[in-house]
Structure 1
Amino acid sequence: MTFFPDSKTFIQIGSFTIAWYAICIIIGAVIAYKIGQYNFKRMGLDKEVLSDYFFGLMITGVIGARIWYVIFMWNELYANNPIEIIMFRHGGLAIQGGIFAGLVFSWWYFRKHKIDFMVAGDAIMPGVLVAQALGRWGNFFNQEAFGGPVGLKFLQSLHLPDFIIKGMYINGQYYHPTFLYESLANIAGFLIIYFVIRKIQTKQGEQFFSYFIWYGIFRFFIEGLRTDSLYIMGLRTAQLISIVFVVVGIAGYIYCKKCGKPAINI
């Protein structure tokens, strides 16, 4: 058994390895789950309802994120080697695909349990930002999802710890730590939604739709810095989806304000 045999691996037991990427995703998901449980309890709902939901969402989200990535990287990576589709350990997840799959699963699950989708969304979506923030650190350990080339002085001007600067030195070049930009933006979004919007919320769904507005705006601009974007018809897929998120988020927020049900105090 060897801990940290390389920068990407948390532990190696013989030929079996667990990557930092997986650890980051699992820790983020557990924290989001605990936040959701706490909110459910404060709302007077059965927090145990989230137990089965958590595992179903994890599986659905990962599959959705994988399918999304495979679709847009089919010609480059999978057309001539389809077996790679199931090689999750080789990387290749697109969070927006996971969000879409997770929303579909959530709608089905909470309808089955007779819980208002907007109520569940208010309780769960802020925590999703925490999960995404930690997931981006998995990208750091994998040395992926970085931006364009920059100089050492630029990174030093950001007052970053040495281990981040060293991690951004890839194949003889320093790069924008876009993983860090998005991670910090997600944490800031969580704090604003959970400690500001939640306090002034009057209608169900306001936190839920605030997630899409915040995440869509920041993902759009950060995606413009990245060098590994997925494309459709020459356009960055993540930026197009981010625009959709912002539009849907604003429209949904306005609808909630005008026609939504009174918020449950959480």
Structure 2
Amino acid sequence: MTLTINPVAFNLGNISVKWYGVIMATAIILAVVMAIIEGQKRHIISDDFVDLLLWAVPIGYLGARIYYVAFEWDYYAQHPDQIIAIWNGGIAIYGGLIAGLIVLLVFCYKKLLPPFLMLDIITPGVMAAQILGRWGNFFNQEAHGAATSFQFLQSLHLPLFIINQMKIAGTYYQPTFLYESVLNLIGLILILLLRHRRHIFKQGEVFMLYLAWYAAVRFFVEGLRTDSLYIAKTIRVSQLLSLVLFIVVFLLFIYRRVVVKPKWYLDGSGLKYPYTRD
């Protein structure tokens, strides 16, 4: 008999707390802690990251839901009562990232903080949160790929508990959540190894590297998933957005390096960053 993991972590009276929620909460805390630690090296106080969290998380989830509903509008137009039923699933990370970015830009404007520097600081934490958050999909047995075989999963040298969890209603599926998590982990390690080296990244380029890396990873993984959002029932939304994002980031990098020529590097050498505070 194949054993799968119960998606419910524990119960508080009549309330069932799912592993997905536990993992997402842990991921958010991890992202904030990483940002605070890095922020101390960049002369950004911890209260700024906590304040940003209080705005970015709820608005980010709202953006993720709006994005999902917008591309599944044929269904939700017929079932408007389900628009707010986020507990039944249905959020899209790109929507959350877009909403979160808007919040950060407004927050930096209000607080007189440099947006590119803030983006570079929080980027590794966001990546870590995404890497961990994908394991919530693992517990929920969602965000998987096409049907496959036990032998194929074994050939990937996966632990048995992952193989077992990929058996859904008697059929094994590709663990696309794992592909994305591992590939983003590689990207995170790369950024952590390079971001403090002298004269490699200028302000904003850690964030840009993250966007390009994630776009490439998501383009690949999205092509394997079976739950994609579509435009005109043929174009995968996340693949199209990933392709556009990668091209835009590449062109922006060239433009900044050749035309703008930003002066400030992120090398951990104690440079005084060009911003003021009240």
TM-score range, shorter chain: over 0.9
Using the alignment, how far apart are the partners of 1:257 and 1:37 within structure 2? 28
Structure 1 position 46, deviation (Å): 1.5
Deviations 1:147-199 (A, max 9, x none): 01111001011111111101100111101000000011111111111212442
Please tell me whether the aligned partners of residues 43 and 264 of structure 1 are also in contact (alpha carbons under 8 angstroms).
no
| Aligned mates of 2:78, 2:148 — CA distance in 1 | 34
Q: Deviation digits for residues 51-102 of structure 1, max 9, x if unmatched?
A: 11012111111111111111111223x2222122212211111000001101
Question: What is aligned with 2:276?
Answer: none
Amino acid at match of 1:244: V
What is the 5 A alignment of 1:21-100? 21-76=20-75, 78-100=76-98
Alignment gaps of 5+ in structure 2: 269-278
CA–CA separation in structure 1 for the residues paired with 2:17 and 2:136: 12
How many angstroms does 1:135 deviate by?
1.0
Listed as ranges, the matches of 1:94-243 within 5 Å are 94-200=92-198, 201-233=200-232, 234-243=234-243
User: Residues 138 and 165 of structure 2 are in contact (CA less than 8 Å); yes or no, is this contact kept in structure 1?
Assistant: yes
The alpha-carbon deviation at position 10 of structure 1 amounts to: 1.3
Secondary structure of the 1:252 match is: helix
Q: Any conservation in 2 of the 1:64–1:100 contact (CA below 8 Å)? A: yes
String of CA shifts for 1:202-258, please: whole Å, max 9, x gaps.
Answer: 411110100111000010011000000000122000001101221122123223433
Report the Cα distance in structure 2 between the residues aligned to 1:8 and 1:174, rounded to whole angstroms: 18
In 1: Cα distance, 2:133 partner to 2:201 partner: 31
Contact 1:204 / 1:256 at 8 angstroms: preserved in 2?
Answer: no
Q: Distance in 1 between matches of 2:47 and 2:95?
A: 27
Q: Which amino acid aligns with 2:36?
A: Q
Provide the C-alpha distance between the structure 1 equivalents of 2:263 and 2:118, rounded to a whole number of angstroms.
13
Q: Which amino acid aligns with 2:126?
A: V
Identity of aligned residues (%): 40
- Counterpart residue type for residue 239 of structure 1: Q
Give the aligned CA root-mean-square deviation in angstroms.
Answer: 1.4
| Displacement after TM superposition at 1:265 (Å) | 3.6
Residues 143, 170 of structure 1: 8 Å contact kept: yes
CA contact 1:182–1:219 (8 Å) conserved in 2? yes
- For residues 139 and 119 of structure 1, what CA distance do their matches in structure 2 show? 31
Q: 189-198 vs 37-46, which deviates more?
A: 189-198
Q: The residue matched to 1:212 in structure 2 has which SS?
A: helix
- Cα separation, 2, equivalents of 1:213 and 1:198: 19
1:121 maps to amino acid: L
Alignment CA distance shift 1:154-1:41 (3 Å): same
Code of the aligned partner of 1:135: G
Change (3 A) 1:202 1:139: closer
Structure with max Cα Rg: 2
Relative distance call for 1:189 and 1:202 in structure 2 (3 A) is closer
- TM-score between both structures, scaled by the size of structure 1: 0.93
**Whole-Å Cα distance in 2 between the matches of residues 254 and 19 of structure 1?**
44
SS in 1 for 2:249: helix
Amino acid at match of 1:123: I
The answer to whether the 8 A contact 2:196-2:266 is kept is no
> What SS does the corresponding residue of 1:17 show, helix, strand or coil?
strand
